[in-house]
Amino acid sequence: MTGQNLIVRNTNHLKRHHGKALGEAISLWANATTDVESQRRVDLIRDKSKVVSEFFVFAEVAPNDVQPNHVKDWQLDLENQLVEIVIKENGKKVSKMRPRGLTYGTIYGMITKVSSFYKWLIERGPDELRILIASNPVDLARPKAPEPYQSESLKSLSDKAMRELIIYMRSRADTGDLVAMRDYAIFLHYAATGRRRAEVIRLKWKDLEFNGAMICRYKVKGGEYQIRVIDDWRVKDAMMDYLKACDRLDSMEDESRLWVSHRNSTLEAGAPLTSHGFVKNMKRYAAKVGIDDFHLHQIRHTVARKANEESGSLSAVQELLGHKSLATTRIYVERIGIRKDGFSSGLLDAWGVDGQLDNKNFGDA
């Protein structure tokens, strides 16, 4: 299947070639290795299962016959894959091929999932498969891990882009649209705090206290909790405006989620909002102001950049982001920050550079 660069992946193909046991093992692994408290648990299990299934469909060998070269060939295929898209030309639907466009970090993550599956299979997998696996074939073929915070998609936004995004989202919220009001309130929370997306999306009413400022209790990585004060009234007001508009404020209880879905922007409150659903909306808002390929984590990076520029203190940025290690914050800031120019004017002044050069004085040299 290498060299053709076409994605032909489905569960029936997997079962037909490798039997029911492998499909069930992949499902068991995905369930066992996914956080039970994650709001995106269903999506994560589906995505992880799809990736590992895709690998075995590509390799076309049984799990115990997979070799490091299968992993390397899959990586090469992923780097060069084409996908079929259907577009309209002159009113007619036309099929065309385009690059799948997977980043190095995404491909590394896909290969890591296959490695995770083999590790689980060797340690805790079903006996009928576990006894056949002698070693993890990914160990000898895993590519070098990407440098953290180097992805193009995770660059911080400019101040101009942030202003335009906020203005657009505010204009949508001012129409009284419940979804827009909710999304604007959530976005302001991110923009004012730099919290990770799950930390804000998971907030419950019991996680908030009001004592002049708003005090938030976030569940962070590792299951621990961090308490932060948000002094700015705009974050609280946007949240309260949303809760009042959807007629939920007076009925909020300790376990009530702050953010819920709204069918067609009606007052009817649905299930707790997922980060996936919010991100889909954010991509649409961002596209409206010319921000292509928006990723929510860019807001955290933008907050980190701006905080570092304003304070010049790594420890202050560390406290803001909730990093346990100052070294992590240093890498974070160095990779996403914009270096300020403190020398060019002084250097050129020292060397007597004065005004524009007159090109007419230099002939054709």
The CA distance from 142 to 74, in Å, is: 11
Residue spans per domain, the chain: 11-146, 153-336
Run of H or E residues at 225? strand 225-230
- CATH placement of domain 153-336: 1.10.443.10
pLDDT at 263: 74
The CA distance from 47 to 21, in Å, is: 19
pLDDT at 362: 46
Instruction: Per residue of the chain (365 residues), give pLDDT as tens.
Output: 433 333 334 445 454 545 688 889 999 999 999 988 776 788 889 999 999 999 999 999 989 999 999 999 999 999 888 777 777 777 788 777 777 778 888 899 999 999 999 999 999 988 888 888 989 999 999 888 877 655 555 688 999 999 999 999 999 999 999 999 999 999 999 999 999 988 999 999 999 999 888 999 998 877 789 999 999 999 999 999 999 999 999 999 999 999 999 876 656 667 899 888 899 999 999 999 999 889 898 999 899 888 888 888 888 888 888 888 888 888 778 777 666 677 778 888 888 887 655 555 545 54
The CA distance from 26 to 125, in Å, is: 9
User: How do 213-219 and 225-230 pair as beta strands?
Assistant: antiparallel
Name 227's Cβ contacts closer than 8 Å, sequence gap at least 6. 215, 216, 217, 218
pLDDT at 128: 86
In 10 A of CB 150, how many CB atoms? 13
226 in Cβ contact with 322 (< 8 Å): yes
Q: Render the burial of 331-341: b for 16+ CB within 10 Å, e for the rest.
A: ebbebbeeeee
Residues in the chain: 365
